[in-house]
Amino acid sequence: MESLDIPQTGILPTFIMGVVAYCFILTCNLTILLTIALDHKLHKPMYILLFNLPVNDLMGATALFPQLIASIHLQNRNISFPACVFQALMVHLYCGGALIILTVMAYDRYVAICQPLHYHTVMTPRNLRRMTVGIWLTDVVLIGVLFLMLIPFSFCQNLIADMYCNNPSIMKLTCEITTVNNAYGLFLSVFLQGVSTIVVIFTYIQILKTCLLNKQADTKSKAIRTCATHLVVFIVFQVTTIFSVLSHRFSQVSPYLRRSVVSCLTGAPLQETHTKSSYEAITTRALAWGPTSAPSFMTDRGPPLGNPHKALI
């Protein structure tokens, strides 16, 4: 891979920042996982779905940071082709998994806020297992096919301009025709991002309408606060991914600009945002509604957040 062009005086500070960021991500995500796993009061649908997010974040961080930190310390950007493909596979699984998980979490919030009396009927343990298996199976199949399509190619170049290995950069190393691979890659991007965007827009419009119609200010603020962080993470992730996809499609985009922007948005800041969103989701709900009960708009106790007449039909 191409050199990061870090000045000699900046190597040590950059290395320390990378180690600190990676350790912070590991610590926070592992804390979230252990908290959910060990506290039986958190074995509820919203936390079980949330459990997938730090798992995915750990996969993404581990795919990116160790190799990057080592290359900064050793000032050696060489990487074997199998290791490069493996890193690219993990990064793409992370990106695809994040979109799918955030989409499923948006649906969970929609049912919880807009159809509170039906929540425990829809989000049963059986359906949760199906959702969890569906998240990872969809991710593995879609991304796995993308990388299996690399097998027939031979590669005649060996320089990657990006900060980390990814499928578009690997495809640029071959001197053969890659029309089918490019078409599938574009379809995959449009499909994942299109479906996730449609679902999130629909669910949050319904949530916003429900919140505006609700007359209980306290319940309304809790519902909005519950969804706000998720929405911010989703928007940042979508913008980053769209820029990355488009920058590889247009040769006019400088690889150095792509590397700078994507490294800023998909590195520590986005990982920390994901980690913070998961942590806030647990602490906010635990403090706001207590450790033993779900929020009022998720139970049949008290007035539902949605239309009471519709809920009783």
List, for residues 130-140, the tens digit of each pLDDT value.
Answer: 999 999 999 99
Closest CA to 295 of 174, 119, 160: 119
Cβ proximity of 25 and 268 under 8 Å: yes
d(CA 96, CA 136): 9
DSSP single-letter state for residue 155: B
Region at 118 (left for phi over 0; alpha for psi -120 to 50; beta for the rest): alpha
Residues 6+ apart with CB under 8 A from 145: 184
pLDDT at 178: 86
Residues 6+ apart with CB under 8 A from 169: 88, 160, 161, 162, 248
Question: Residue 298's pLDDT band (boundaries 50, 70, 90)?
Answer: very low
Max mean pLDDT among 77-91, 222-236, 257-271 falls in: 77-91
Max mean pLDDT among 62-66, 112-116, 174-178, 289-293 falls in: 62-66
Tokens at residue 232, please? 């911010």
The runs of H, that is alpha helices, within 75-177 are: 81-114, 119-122, 125-148, 167-171
Residues 6+ apart with CB under 8 A from 32: 50, 54, 275, 278, 279, 282
- Supply the mean pLDDT for the chain: 78
Cβ proximity of 163 and 4 under 8 Å: yes
Q: How many CB atoms lie within 10 A of CB 117?
A: 17
pLDDT at 109: 85
Cβ proximity of 302 and 265 under 8 Å: no
Cβ proximity of 104 and 127 under 8 Å: no
pLDDT at 236: 76
The answer to whether residue 169 scores a pLDDT higher than 60 is yes
d(CA 149, CA 180): 9
Tokens at residue 107, please? 């649906």
Closest CA to 245 of 182, 300, 198, 158: 182
Closest CA to 224 of 136, 143, 305, 104: 305
The answer to whether residue 308 scores a pLDDT higher than 50 is no
Cβ proximity of 59 and 140 under 8 Å: no
CA geometry: angle 11, 22, 239, nearest 5 deg: 95
Closest CA to 176 of 152, 146, 160, 143: 152
Q: Which residues pair with 155 in a beta bridge?
A: 174
Query: Residue 244 half-sphere exposure, CB side, CA atoms within 13 Å?
Result: 28
Question: Residue 261's pLDDT band (boundaries 50, 70, 90)?
Answer: low
